[in-house]
């Protein structure tokens, strides 16, 4: 026997082997349609008994393995079912002859056989034949299952008769010596009358009868016969058959302890006819169908009914620990024979399946390690692939995931071995994909954003390189680009500088033929590879939405009283602070963007590569409103620090817009990078309101710009400072030009003035204008210009205004005095600090005020006279002058006298 069955399990020792084959030319689809229906009848229960019978079907079985049927009866082909197409009566004799030829291949072991003929009609089909069934086509064959039931019934009758024939002790008859094929030459010339020879014959026959009892559903009888066989064979050192007897004992004990089976197959077999003992309970078998056999025909021939109830059930069954010990002993005996390598290998596999049920992984790995080094004949490449794949599945079964991945990877490499004329790159690629879980590797880049890296990075990179190479040899460049992109994105931290250069160079070569996209790739077996965005090329650490420039920033409309039209909501304090990053990112920002205006988002990025990184076509990803992203191109230095990058775009509609991320093109791979997938990114919000398009107005004046500002800007206003010099009583015109430089018409114009001073010390109309002519040009269309004139008149009344110059100085007005008839001179300079403006007091002054966005710097020339007159040593007695608290020393200090004293009626002459 040279072909091992890696799917063998302990419960297969109680099955009858039936081979289903096609005769002539039968399509694969039709054959497996019938084969599937045949396999559905895989178990039966014997009526009026607690015995069960199980069938194992194979559509291919090596004839040389059939020669080991006496050694272990479950390896013997006892049934043959053939399927053929025959559409003409003249072809029938030839078809029937092929059926007989097929029977001769397994003729020495067959109990019964059947031939299913499809397509033949006429007189030939009306002739009754017990071993032939005719059907007009593959759709009209409802009785297939019933035919199989009858077929299994005949197998059971033959099996039972053979069991009873071998089990009966016929005194005086010599017991034949059962042999395996390679032993026959060793027993030529032996003394057949010796006691040693007779014990050998008895021990082997007992073992054989135990196999038949196990197949016939007599579990306890099988245990008794196996125990007796072990004792006889051990006494004559018949190690090969002793190992078989021990393995049979283990199989019967496994069936008793684990009625669900150890093969891990789907489905459960259930038996009819009342309650069954544990050995006949459910077992995993595909497509179970119950069949009842009446043993009445057997009793009429003198065959005794089941006597297993009379035998002790407990003492002959091995304990779970003893099962493994006996398996080890049996395997040690098999290892003594070179030609028993397949038997030894299959025994290791069966023991591993039992240990997997017992959750004893370490001991199971020892059996598997032994199976790896069992030397079989020179295996073909396909057999090597099968062997390594089964080893991988068994390691997976006992929980050795990395070991399982290793053998599956070896099987993948075997698919493309140099000795194979046509390498199977698709099979290699499929097997490599199956190794990914064993190496803690997922092809979803989101699994690598969780922080801690799992698995050996060096092995994972090697596996990814093999996936890239296999997909390229398959002729799928898009798949190569996807795997190489995944390697660069997820393993960037583990690549050396030279490896980074090599990988990026390879990626550029691949993308030159097939650019990388963000579309998922679906493989033929249904697996979907998600897209791989390059969130690390470059790495983004901060995302900030920027407000519009001051000149374009929308302002809330204010009334003439300076109050905003919208009311603020009440402030409610809450001690609960939301720490969710998602809520922080999606919260609304307090400024607005304007439809049609260029908006900006600032990113802080850096380049982790040891060479210059070129980022092409970088733009924003948004949702909520229609948005035109204006792409940008970057060139980041090697391993640069945080570098500010501004991405711009234009919202085309109004509403709430959310910045979801950005897109890039790096090394020929297009990536959509979402903010939610960027770990460690700081952002103050990503949602902003887009308001309708606003008109844009450009203002210019006829006066020259001032060198300094009289009042600091509040930040939300656009101010222009112009300078004008006037004498008291002088008037000058200020021409203001309004130009519509936007795309929306200007519909309204409002001009207001505001006082800088809070005192009612000034009188007269400083500013005056008329808007009738200007408003007649409104609405002002885009590109049009309108003007209006503001008259500036300097009019100051110095009578009865105490401390006027000091007040003007406090209000930011420069006052200079030039003596015409007096040697005294005083200059009052502007103070740095300015006083707050009170709008309520300013409203009392009528037209006194100040034009918004235009500060007027007044320079007043005041003629001072009468300073040469002497004052009395006493102070002025006028009530208005008492507040100055003048002292006599003022006569000698040559200090400046209050102006009010010169016009005071109570002054001293």
Tell me what pLDDT residue 713 has.
57
Does residue 832 have a pLDDT over 60?
A: no
Name the pLDDT band for 881 (thresholds 50, 70, 90).
Answer: very low
Mean pLDDT of 175-201: 83
**538 prior amide bond cis, ω within 30:** yes
Tell me what pLDDT residue 803 has.
56
Does residue 306 have a pLDDT over 50?
A: no
**Helices H / strands E in the chain, number of each:** 24, 27
Does residue 205 have a pLDDT over 60?
A: yes
Distances (CA, A) of 350 to 14, 18, 671: 14, 21, 51
The DSSP secondary structure of 183-230, one letter per residue, reads: GGGGGTT--TTSHHHHHHHHHHHHHHHHHHHHHTT-HHHHHHHHHHHH
Name the pLDDT band for 532 (thresholds 50, 70, 90).
Answer: very high
Mean pLDDT of 262-268: 57
Which residue pairs from 850-853 have beta carbons closer than 8 angstroms and sit at least 24 positions apart in sequence?
850/753, 850/754, 850/755, 850/756, 850/766, 850/767, 851/734, 851/751, 851/753, 851/767, 851/790, 852/717, 852/751, 852/752, 852/753, 852/754, 853/699, 853/717, 853/718, 853/719, 853/720
Tell me what pLDDT residue 765 has.
63
Does residue 829 have a pLDDT over 70?
A: no
pLDDT in tens, 465-480: 999 999 999 999 999 9
What does the alpha-carbon distance between residue 360 and residue 374 come to, in Å, rounded to a whole number? 22
Tell me what pLDDT residue 141 has.
87
Does residue 270 have a pLDDT over 90?
A: no
Q: Who wins on pLDDT, 166 or 284?
A: 166
The DSSP secondary structure of 232-299, one letter per residue, reads: HHHHTT-HHHHHHHHHHHHHHHHHHH-TT-SS--SS-----SS---GGGS----TT----EE-THHHH
Tell me what pLDDT residue 859 has.
33
pLDDT in tens, 581-609: 444 455 678 889 999 999 999 999 999 99
Mean pLDDT of 28-57: 88
Q: What is the DSSP letter of 746?
A: B
The DSSP secondary structure of 837-885, one letter per residue, reads: P-HHHHGGGTT---BTT-----EEEE----TTSPPPSSPP-SHHHHTT-
Name the pLDDT band for 250 (thresholds 50, 70, 90).
Answer: very high
Tell me what pLDDT residue 319 has.
93
CB atoms within 10 A of CB 583: 10
Residue 263 near residue 353 (C-beta atoms within 8 A): yes
Mean pLDDT of 407-425: 92
The DSSP secondary structure of 480-497, one letter per residue, reads: HHHHHHHHHHHSGGG--H
Q: At what angle do helices 239-257 and 320-334 cross, to 10 degrees?
A: 150
Name the pLDDT band for 558 (thresholds 50, 70, 90).
Answer: low
Tell me what pLDDT residue 769 has.
82
Does residue 845 have a pLDDT over 80?
A: no
Name the pLDDT band for 265 (thresholds 50, 70, 90).
Answer: low
pLDDT in tens, 324-346: 999 999 999 999 998 899 999 99
Tell me what pLDDT residue 875 has.
41
Name the pLDDT band for 3 (thresholds 50, 70, 90).
Answer: confident
Least confident of 79-83, 172-176, 708-712, 811-815: 811-815
Least confident of 316-330, 548-562, 612-626: 548-562
Residue 669 near residue 507 (C-beta atoms within 8 A): yes
Least confident of 385-389, 468-472, 807-811: 807-811
Burial label, 289 (beta-carbon count in 10 A; 0-12, 13-18, 19+): middle
Enclosing H/E stretch for 700: strand 697-701
Name the pLDDT band for 710 (thresholds 50, 70, 90).
Answer: low
Mean pLDDT of 293-314: 39
Least confident of 293-297, 556-560, 664-668: 293-297
Pairing of strands 814-817, 827-828: antiparallel
pLDDT in tens, 733-751: 888 888 888 888 888 888 8
Q: Who wins on pLDDT, 706 or 108?
A: 108
Does residue 268 have a pLDDT over 70?
A: no
Least confident of 138-152, 233-247, 717-731: 717-731
Does residue 873 have a pLDDT over 80?
A: no
**Mean pLDDT, the chain, whole residue set:** 78
Contacts of 103 (CB under 8 A, 6+ apart): 80, 110, 113
Percentage of the chain beyond pLDDT 90 is 47
Name the pLDDT band for 278 (thresholds 50, 70, 90).
Answer: very low
Does residue 762 have a pLDDT over 70?
A: no
DSSP H helical ranges for 358-490: 361-372, 381-397, 401-414, 425-434, 457-473, 477-490
pLDDT in tens, 45-93: 877 677 888 999 999 998 888 889 999 999 999 999 999 999 888 889 9
pLDDT in tens, 783-798: 888 888 888 887 766 5
């Amino acid at each position: 026997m040279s072909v091992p069955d890696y799917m063998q399990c302990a419960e297969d020792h109680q099955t009858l082997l039936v081979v289903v084959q096609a005769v002539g030319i039968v399509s694969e689809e039709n054959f497996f349609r019938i084969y599937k229906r045949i396999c559905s009848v895989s178990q039966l229960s014997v009526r009026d008994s607690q015995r069960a019978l199980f069938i194992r079907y194979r559509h291919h079985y090596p004839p040389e393995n059939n020669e080991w049927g006496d050694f272990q009866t479950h390896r013997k082909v006892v049934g043959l079912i053939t399927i053929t197409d025959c559409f003409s009566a003249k072809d029938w004799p030839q078809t029937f002859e092929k059926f007989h030829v097929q029977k001769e291949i397994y003729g020495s072991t067959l109990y019964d056989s059947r031939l299913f003929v499809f397509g033949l009609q006429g007189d030939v089909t009306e002739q009754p034949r017990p071993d032939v069934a005719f059907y007009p086509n593959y759709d009209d064959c409802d009785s297939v299952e019933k035919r199989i039931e009858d077929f299994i019934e005949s197998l059971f009758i033959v099996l039972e008769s053979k069991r009873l024939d071998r089990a009966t002790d016929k005194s005086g008859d010599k017991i034949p010596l059962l042999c395996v094929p390679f032993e026959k030459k060793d027993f030529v010339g032996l003394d057949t009358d010796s006691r040693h020879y007779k014990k050998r014959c008895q021990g082997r026959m007992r073992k054989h009868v135990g196999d038949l009892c196990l197949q016939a559903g007599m579990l306890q009888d099988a245990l008794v016969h196996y125990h007796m066989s072990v004792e006889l064979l051990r006494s004559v050192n018949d190690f090969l058959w002793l190992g078989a007897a021990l393995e049979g004992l283990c199989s019967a004990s496994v069936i008793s302890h684990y009625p669900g089976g150890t093969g891990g197959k789907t489905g459960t077999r259930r038996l009819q006819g009342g309650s069954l003992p544990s050995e006949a309970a459910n077992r995993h078998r595909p497509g179970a169908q119950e069949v009842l056999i009446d043993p009445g025909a057997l009793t009429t021939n003198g065959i005794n009914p089941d006597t297993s109830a009379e035998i002790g059930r407990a003492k002959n069954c091995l304990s779970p620990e003893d099962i493994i010990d006996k398996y080890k002993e049996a395997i040690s005996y098999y290892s003594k024979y070179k030609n028993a390598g397949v038997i030894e290998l299959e025994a290791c596999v069966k023991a591993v399946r039992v240990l997997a049920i017992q959750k004893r992984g370490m001991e199971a790995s020892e059996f598997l390690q032994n199976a790896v080094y069992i030397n079989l004949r020179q295996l073909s490449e396909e057999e090597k692939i099968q062997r390594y794949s089964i080893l991988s599945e068994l390691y997976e079964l006992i929980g050795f995931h990395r070991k399982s991945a290793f053998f599956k990877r070896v099987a993948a490499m075997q698919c493309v071995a140099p000795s194979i004329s046509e390498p199977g790159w698709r099979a290699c690629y499929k097997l490599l994909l199956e190794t990914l879980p064993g190496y803690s590797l997922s092809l979803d880049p989101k699994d690598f954003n969780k922080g801690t890296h799992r698995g050996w990075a060096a092995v994972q990179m090697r596996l990814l390189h093999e996936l890239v190479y296999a997909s390229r040899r398959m002729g799928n460049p898009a798949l190569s680009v996807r795997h190489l992109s995944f390697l660069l994105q997820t393993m960037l931290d583990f690549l050396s500088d030279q490896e980074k250069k090599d990988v990026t160079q390879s990626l550029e070569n691949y993308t030159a033929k097939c650019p990388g996209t963000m579309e998922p790739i679906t493989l033929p077996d249904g697996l979907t590879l998600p897209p791989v965005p390059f969130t690390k090329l470059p790495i983004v650490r901060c995302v900030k939405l920027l407000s519009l420039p001051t000149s374009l920033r929308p302002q809330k409309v204010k009334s003439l009283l300076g109050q905003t039209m919208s009311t603020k909501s009440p402030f409610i304090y809450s001690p609960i602070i939301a720490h969710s990053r998602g809520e922080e990112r999606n919260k609304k920002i307090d400024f607005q963007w304007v439809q049609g205006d260029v908006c900006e988002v600032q990113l802080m990025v850096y380049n982790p590569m040891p060479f210059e990184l070129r980022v092409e076509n970088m733009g924003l990803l948004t949702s909520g409103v229609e948005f035109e992203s204006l792409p940008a191109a970057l060139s980041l230095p090697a391993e640069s620090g945080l570098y500010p990058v501004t991405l711009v775009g234009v919202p085309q509609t109004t509403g709430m817009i959310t910045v979801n991320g950005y897109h890039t093109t790096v090394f020929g791979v297009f990536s959509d990078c979402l903010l939610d997938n960027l770990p460690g990114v700081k952002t103050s919000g990503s949602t902003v309101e887009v308001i309708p398009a606003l008109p844009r107005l450009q203002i210019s004046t006829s006066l020259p710009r001032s060198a300094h500002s009289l009042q600091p800007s509040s930040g939300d206003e656009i101010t222009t400072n112009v300078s004008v010099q006037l004498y008291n009583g002088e008037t000058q015109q200020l021409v203001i030009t309004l130009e519509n430089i936007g795309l929306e018409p200007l519909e309204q114009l409002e001009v207001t003035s505001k006082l800088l001073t809070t005192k009612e010390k000034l009188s007269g109309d400083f500013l005056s204008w008329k808007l009738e002519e200007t408003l007649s040009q409104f609405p002002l269309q885009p590109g049009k210009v309108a003007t209006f004139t503001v008259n500036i008149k300097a009019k100051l009344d110095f009578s009865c205004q105490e401390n006027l110059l000091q007040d003007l100085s406090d209000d930011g007005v420069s006052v200079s005095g030039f003596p015409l008839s007096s040697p005294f001179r005083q200059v009052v300079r502007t103070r740095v600090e300015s006083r707050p403006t009170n709008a309520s007091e300013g409203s009392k002054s009528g037209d006194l005020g100040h034009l918004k966005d235009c500060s007027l710097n007044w320079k007043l020339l005041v003629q001072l006279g009468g300073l040469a007159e002497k004052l009395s040593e006493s102070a002025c007695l006028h009530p208005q002058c008492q507040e100055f608290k003048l002292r006599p020393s003022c006569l000698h200090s040559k200090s400046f006298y209050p102006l009010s004293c010169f016009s005071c009626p109570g002054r001293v002459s």
